[in-house]
Every structure is written in structure tokens, then in C-alpha cells.
């Protein structure tokens, strides 16, 4: 039986954030649930009482993030799991993307995550323990046409989290990157899109047709995987969610290796002659 943990969850009012918050509470953990719409968590407060602390939070407000994390620590006296889940999709071909909208997308997905991590790290280092979970996506591994802003933000999460893992392991802090594929979380309802350019419509339609309904997973089924990672003595750096996700990742890496192999002689020649 694992010891009860204290979670800090962003984007806790809907989708994976809501599902994983409830799963943690059901097993007896305590959760600080941070969300733009805290009223959406009233039901969980009624059920779980003092085991849940709901805080209003927009992760793009850096000062508010630090205040929320410090409030959470003061309230429950420790923080064990930091789940950086807040994020949304902004879609469009690269030529279509509006500069301010891309900045807003990164402000939430990237800089919001960075603020949460930076606010939590002094607390976790002082404890000598903690587990940071960053929510990436299959889009953090595989870029796709018309998804340039969203996938770029998730590629950043992957790289930032990998760097973080190497920096904090000596302090007893663990890092896991969550990489979900397609799940019925309502994610699409929060997606924003750029103004379309007609020339890209065939590509857009081709991308849409590539998403198969039979590959959409049940988000509730992800909870055992998240809890197993949180309980693990040696959790994975990366945790992909969904069987179709793994299949696509394998194919993508095989194509990348094939590309590098094909151009290996050119790559090696770019080294130049060794200096004597």
C-alpha cells in the first residue's frame, strides 16, 4: 500500500486534469486542484471535502502561479506530485498562424508549465523528493501539417522536461513526460483555429481524414497508468498512453532512423578533417 500523496494539478476542471484529480482523490490522496473555472470542481469538493483544495488559476499569470503553489504547500505542508496539465490546441498551417495567437498558445502550454515547475522546485528540493509530471502529447513526438503551433509547444515540453530530469535527479525529484494519443477528453472543444487559406484546404482535409475514430481511447482507462507511474520507485521518463500511440511512435522513429541512415555519408563528411 503506497503512502498517500499530495498533488498539485493545473487544468483540473476538465479532460485529463479532472479525471486524474478524481482518481487521486478516490484512492485517498489529497489534491490541490487549480483551474480557470474553479466552480466546475464544486462536485468534487462536496464528495471529498478537505482532501481537495480548489484554487482559481490562470497559468499565464506567473505571480499567481507562485502564490498558488506556495498556498498549496502551506495548506497541506508538502507537495509530492506536480501535474502540469493546463494547455490547449491552436491549429493552422504555418502560413496561416497569427503571431499573437501563437504567443498565447506558448504562454499557456510552455511558459505556464515552466512557471509551475519553477515555483515547485524549491519546495521539492527542500523535501528531497517529488515527482513532476508534464503533459505532452503524441504531437510532442510527431509534428503534423496544420498543427505547427500546438506540436511545437509540445516538442518544447519534451525537451524542457528531459533537461529537467537530468538536473533534479540528484535531489530525489523524478520527472515523467505524459504522451497521450487520441482520447475522448473534449480536447477538440477547446481547440482554436487560424483563419484558413484556401490553398491549404486539401492538406487540412487529408490530416482530418487520417484521424481514425477507432483509435480514440477511453480517457478513464488512462488512470491506472498514471497512478502506476506515480507509485513507481523508478518511474519512466516518458509514458505514452494508448496502443495506437505506440504504433505511430515506432513508425515515426523508424522513418527518422532511415532518413539519417540514408544521409549518413553526407552527415559524416560535414565533420571535416580532424585537426592535427
List the pLDDT tens digit at each of the 276 positions of the chain: 457 999 999 999 999 999 999 999 999 999 999 999 999 999 999 999 999 999 999 999 999 999 999 999 999 999 999 999 999 999 999 999 999 999 999 999 999 999 999 999 999 999 999 999 999 999 999 999 999 999 999 999 999 999 999 999 999 999 999 999 999 887 777 789 999 999 999 999 999 888 888 889 999 999 999 999 999 999 999 999 999 999 999 999 999 999 999 999 999 999 998 876
Closest CA to 225 of 168, 172, 179: 179
Among 5, 13, 48, 136, the one annotated catalytic: 136
Supply φ then ψ for residue 261, to 5 degrees.
-60, -45
**Domain range 6-263, its CATH number among 3.40.50.720, 3.30.930.10, 3.30.420.40, 3.30.70.20:** 3.40.50.720
Among 5, 48, 115, 150, the one annotated catalytic: 150
Supply φ then ψ for residue 82, to 5 degrees.
-110, 110
Q: What are the beta bridge partners of residue 135?
A: 178
Among 48, 149, 154, 174, the one annotated catalytic: 154
Cβ contacts of residue 252 below 8 Å, gap of 6+? 141, 142
| CB of 82 closer than 8 Å to CB of 135 | no
Size (the chain), residues: 276
Kind and range of the H or E run holding 242: none
Q: How would you classify the pairing of strands 30-35 and 6-10?
A: parallel
Q: What is the pTM of this model?
A: 0.94
5 in catalytic set: no
DSSP state of 256: H
Q: Where are the beta strands (DSSP E) in the chain?
A: 6-10, 30-35, 52-56, 81-84, 90-91, 130-135, 173-180, 192-193, 238-241
253 in catalytic set: no
Amino acid at each position: 500500500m503506497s503512502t498517500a500523496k499530495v498533488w498539485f494539478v493545473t487544468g483540473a476542471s476538465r479532460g485529463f486534469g479532472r479525471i486524474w484529480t478524481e482518481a487521486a482523490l478516490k484512492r485517498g490522496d489529497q489534491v490541490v486542484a487549480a483551474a480557470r473555472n474553479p466552480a466546475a470542481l464544486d462536485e468534487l469538493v462536496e464528495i471529498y471535502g478537505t482532501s481537495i483544495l480548489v484554487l482559481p488559476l490562470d497559468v499565464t499569470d506567473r505571480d499567481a502561479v507562485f502564490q498558488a503553489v506556495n498556498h498549496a504547500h502551506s495548506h497541506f505542508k508538502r507537495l509530492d506530485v506536480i501535474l502540469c496539465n493546463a494547455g490547449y490546441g491552436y491549429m493552422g498551417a504555418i502560413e496561416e498562424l497569427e503571431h499573437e495567437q501563437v504567443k498565447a498558445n506558448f504562454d499557456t502550454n510552455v511558459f505556464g508549465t515552466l512557471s509551475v515547475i519553477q515555483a515547485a522546485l524549491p519546495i521539492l528540493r527542500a523535501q528531497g523528493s517529488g515527482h513532476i509530471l508534464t503533459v505532452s502529447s503524441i504531437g510532442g513526438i510527431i509534428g503534423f501539417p496544420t498543427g505547427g503551433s500546438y506540436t511545437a509547444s509540445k516538442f518544447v515540453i519534451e525537451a524542457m522536461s528531459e533537461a529537467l530530469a537530468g538536473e533534479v535527479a540528484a535531489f530525489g525529484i523524478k520527472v515523467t513526460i505524459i504522451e497521450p494519443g487520441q482520447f475522448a477528453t473534449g480536447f477538440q472543444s477547446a481547440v482554436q483555429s487560424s483563419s484558413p487559406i484556401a490553398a491549404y484546404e486539401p492538406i487540412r482535409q487529408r490530416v482530418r481524414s487520417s484521424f481514425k475514430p477507432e483509435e480514440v481511447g477511453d480517457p478513464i482507462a488512462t488512470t491506472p497508468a498514471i497512478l502506476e507511474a506515480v507509485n513507481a520507485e523508478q518511474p519512466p521518463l516518458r509514458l505514452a498512453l494508448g496502443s495506437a500511440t505506440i504504433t505511430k511512435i515506432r513508425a515515426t522513429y523508424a522513418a527518422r532512423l532511415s532518413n539519417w541512415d540514408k544521409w549518413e555519408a553526407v552527415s559524416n563528411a560535414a565533420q571535416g578533417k580532424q585537426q592535427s
